[in-house]
Amino acid sequence: MAEKVLEIRDLHVTFDTPSGPLEAVRGVDLDVSAGELLGVVGESGSGKSVSFLATMGLLPARARVTGSVLLAGEQLIGASAKQMRSVRGRLLSMIFQDPLSALNPVHRIGDQISEMLRSHQNLSARDADKRAVELLDIVGIPQPGDRARQYPHEFSGGMRQRVVIAIAIANNPKVLIADEPTTALDVTVQAQILEVIERVQERFGTAVVLITHDLGVIARVADRVNVMYAGRNVEQGTIESLFDHPSHPYTRGLLASLPRPGKQRLKPITGFPPNMLNPPSGCAFHTRCEYAADICKGEMPPLVGFGDLQTACVRAKELPKSESFV
Amino acid sequence: MSKQESTVLSPRQMAFRRFVSHKAAVASCIIIGLLTLFIVLAPLTARYGVNESVQAPPNSFLTPRAKSWLGTDDIGRDLYSRLIYGVRVSLLIGLASAIISVTLGALVGAVAGFRGGKFDDIMMRVTDLFLAFPFLVTLLVVRNVLGALPWLRPITGDMSSVRFIIVLFGLFGWMGVARIVRGQVLSLKEREFVEAARAVGASRRYIITRHLLPNSVGPIMVALTFSVVGAIIGESTLAFFGYGPQAGDGATSLGILVGAAKGAVQTGYWWLAVFPCLVLIVIALSINFIGDALRDATDPRLDRGV
Amino acid sequence: MFRYILRRVAWSIPTLLIVTFLVYLALRIGTDPVASYKRINPRASRAKIAEYIDVNGLDPNFVQGYFKWLKNFVTGEWPRSIKGRREVWPALKDAMANTLRLGSAATVVGIFFGLIAGVLAALRPGGKRDVFINTSAFVGISIPPFISAIMFQLLFAVYWQKWFGESLFPTSGVYPAGHTGFDLFLMLKFMALPTLVVAIQIIATYSRYMRSSLLDVLNSDYMRTARSKGISERRVLIKHGMRNALIPVVTIAALDVGSIVGGLIITENIFSYPGMGLYFLKSFGEGDFPLLMPWMVVIVASVLFFNLIADISYAWLDPRIRLE
Ligand SMILES: Nc1ncnc2c1ncn2[C@@H]1O[C@H](COP(=O)(O)OP(=O)(O)OP(=O)(O)O)[C@@H](O)[C@H]1O
Ligand code: SF4
Ligand SMILES: [Mg+2]
């Protein structure tokens, strides 16, 4: 296996809200290896975005973050603001869900890219502009020279997301975090954006973390998957093993709710995601799990190796074998 | 780590919480409440009548003392008692004209926002122009015009009456309100329940009165508080320059009392300037704080965090 | 751009005509210029009155009268004032110069400190500094200018003199009585209090605009993108935050010219500062139509002018706005 570029251990994030402390992330462990594409799935509110915003050091000051995040061996939790600034955009970059609002409306596209370049590389303004045009070309924007001089409002949503990707990869980072990069876009555009991300990953060997709701997308592009529920990761493994024999009941539920050829009836998971102000004790999934037993309400189950998967379910060994979703 | 109070709050409860967390607004509510009590109970709280002298002459320009807590004016009347009666008139002017202007403004704003098109264009042009013009100039000119139209006399009363001032500010304040309500209606118009109502063929009037206005209660309340302040300050500004209600029958208003301050500056009768001004500032500040807290509390944009 | 400005200027002419017509109507109904003339010149001959009516365009027919007034106004045949039969232009010119001086001093001081205060408040929302600035701004907008004017006079002039034997700042006029020639220091001293009164209002208003606008911007996605580039917080704020935050402030500024002029009128009156405000209140009180109309034209024109300036700077700040 390739070297690990990003190692997250026991990450916790708590927000102080008017209704009391809200622990959005409750002990996440996760590894990303060089050059791989890791998918992260989970329902809305499961803490996907918050985990990686914490990694980037982009959470508001009233968020309390503890645990350990090692990026190429460098500890990011508790790092100084200056240290984080040097990491952000150089080793680690992130693209966000809504391309329409992610770009500054009053600056030219080219300038927004070269700003990223010049903040980490010793480039002349002219070289940075030239490189910015190259980057636009790489992410598949036609007539990049002219487009660089335009403003965001002159670009379509898909085109803007390409620009955001161009900014993110400008300094050839080790890890690129893509937080639902296609959710806000049309279906046809979605596929194009995914292609751009895959191309970038192959060309530069960037490790990519792809956060999404869409297991179909994961199945197509990811090497490994990490499933999150209520601020914890409940299962992880390679794409093949996870789709072939998911072990955690939540993963099974997610897969069973996926539309597949030859199967008419979808089986959505019943119930609602828990209120994170007051999450259920023990395995947070027990309020909705069809295999739940008393023992599930006791302690939070840790991730343990289970075959070729890592699963956080106390009853994993006793459960009936799941059908295959390959 | 305690995890009590985890129940999900309704929007109204959230709004109430946000309002209460604005400490200055809560204090302001108490101040305004006390003030209201004071002026409602004026016969008990005031120590002298509006026009009564504290003692036989010489009684003019007495400094504050036991007999007259805040001193006396040029003809020996008690400033403290006159302030109570003055605030009574001023609050009445503020509230009554604010209600007129908010009603007018809410209707115009709702119709303009809902219908859009030419009507909206013209309304907004006119309000823009009025708002851009120096307020005091427009106020004085419109005041004279209203006073000069004989057929308006039955509504407005005499130019120096309190009623005239109420009508004047009522006609004046609606423009700001119309803008706010229009903005709110424009954003509500696109929301599902309005679309749904339209889809089932509800009439315009029904949609405006049943959906749009009730859902604009927040902004309208905010506009109401700011209109009250606007009218109270406006009245005292007019009175200060001698265009306010006249002190017939010894009736007084905050504006008349503050207006007397002009003379006090030269002569050094500081209490005549300081106390009425202080009361005016406290009232304006309190109502402004309440309006600000109302806005914070009812603005859905702030639903998350802090 | 140039064509846009030309077109806007061309458009402002009909606007100016309509608004001045409304003003003409309002003044004729509200102040009855003929009656004011007779009141001030009780022994004027019938011929004199007819002449006054003629040069001022005070015909019984409002429309005809307006155009007569307009013709005289445009050709420079400005009638003399009712009171004292003074020429109007010199008086108006002096008033304009004085007000421009006071107004621009107050506006520059006010906007500068207002924007700084707003930024400081928005940077740490809810913090001590924010609460202090926000509360002060609230007190500022809750104090009508005539009250702060009186309080300053009372404190810095009347009582200062009582306590220290000499007042700190003069309270009226531009120069001491009998002074001739130009004296910058003296002038600044006379302007200090009125400037302060107007500036306080502007600081209070603009710090609040700036605060809320910057808060909106700080919460926006592109600020997060900027931060994710690893550039310094200062650069994030200045390069990405400020320009966006100024856009709504500039639009509001256009609507605010009126309230600034309103504040000036009140302040000038209290400090007997011989500017547009004092000019207006005096001539309005006497119903002096020949003095009032040109004043109104100047005010309407400057409202339109500042609107245009605001639109241009708006387009300059925001590339999404196209002036065509
Ligand atoms: N700034 C914040 N302040 C308070 N709570 C927050 C904040 N940001 C996120 N949360 C809370 O943290 C929890 C996790 O949110 P997060 O955005 O990570 O979910 P997610 O898994 O990314 O969901 P989605 O798929 O909808 O993006 C949610 O309950 C959310 O309400
Ligand atoms: S621990 Fe229990 S409740 Fe949780 S997933 Fe496993 S079986 Fe279900
Ligand atoms: Mg998310």
Domain ranges of chain C: 11-74, 92-317
Question: Which chains border C (3 or more CB–CB pairs < 8 Å)?
Answer: A, B
Which of C237, C39, C235, C214 is closest to C130 using CA atoms? C214
pLDDT of B2 reads 39
User: Is A281 or C256 the better-scoring residue by pLDDT?
Assistant: A281
pLDDT tens readout for residues A5-23? 999 999 999 998 878 899 9
Name chain A contacts of C127, Cβ cutoff 8 Å: none
**Tokens encoding B70:** 């805040």
State how far Cα B33 lies from the chain centre: 15
Contact A277 B2 (CB under 8 A): no
pLDDT tens readout for residues C58-116? 888 999 999 999 999 999 889 888 888 889 999 999 999 999 999 999 999 999 999 99
Does C294 contact B at CB distance below 8 Å? no
In three state form, how does the secondary structure of C181-219 look? CCCHHHHHHHHHHHHHHHHHHHHHHHHHHHHHHHHHHHC
> Packing angle between helix C276-285 and helix C88-123, nearest 10 degrees?
120
Contact B143 C23 (CB under 8 A): no
User: Is B203 or A127 the better-scoring residue by pLDDT?
Assistant: A127
Ligand 1 binding pocket includes A20 (Cβ within 6 Å): no
User: Is B57 or B170 the better-scoring residue by pLDDT?
Assistant: B170
State chain A's mean pLDDT as an integer: 91
Mutate to test the interface with B, among C17, C21, C124, C150 (most CBs of B within 10 A): C150
Q: Which of residues 121-160 of B touch C (CB under 8 A)?
A: 128-129, 131-137, 140-145, 147-149
pLDDT at A249 over 60: yes
Query: What is the CATH T-level fold of the domain C92-317, as seen in this structure?
Result: MetI-like fold (1.10.3720)
User: Is C24 or B9 the better-scoring residue by pLDDT?
Assistant: C24
Q: Which of A205-219, A246-260, B76-90, C310-324 has the lowest mean pLDDT?
A: C310-324
Q: Which of residues 280-319 of A touch B (CB under 8 A)?
A: none
Amino acid at B186: L
What ipTM was reported for this prediction?
Answer: 0.89
Which residue of chain A is at minimal alpha-carbon distance from C314? A106
Contact A86 C230 (CB under 8 A): yes
pLDDT tens readout for residues C179-229? 777 777 777 878 888 999 999 999 999 999 999 899 989 989 999 999 999
In chain A, the domains with their CATH numbers are: 4-222 (3.40.50.300), 228-311 (no CATH)
Residue with tokens 């490994």: A224
pLDDT of B9 reads 66
Phi-psi region of B250 (alpha: psi -120 to 50; beta: other; left: phi over 0): left
pLDDT tens readout for residues A64-97? 999 999 999 899 999 999 999 999 999 999 999 8
Question: Between A and B, how many CB-CB pairs are < 8 A?
Answer: 27
Residue B256 and residue B69: Cα distance in Å, rounded?
Answer: 19
3-state secondary structure at position B33:
helix
Mean pLDDT of B129-148: 86
Name chain C contacts of B176, Cβ cutoff 8 Å: none
The reported pTM is: 0.85
pLDDT at C317 over 90: no
Question: Which chains border B (3 or more CB–CB pairs < 8 Å)?
Answer: A, C
pLDDT of B306 reads 31
State chain B's mean pLDDT as an integer: 82
Amino acid at A50: V
Q: Whose CA is nearest to atom 28 of ligand 1?
A: A45
Ligand 1 mean position to A275 CA, how many Å?
11
Counting from 1 in the atom list of ligand 1, the atom nearest the Cα of A48 is 21
Does B8 contact A at CB distance below 8 Å? yes
Residue with tokens 């072990």: A247
Contact A19 B5 (CB under 8 A): yes
Name chain A contacts of C240, Cβ cutoff 8 Å: 104, 107
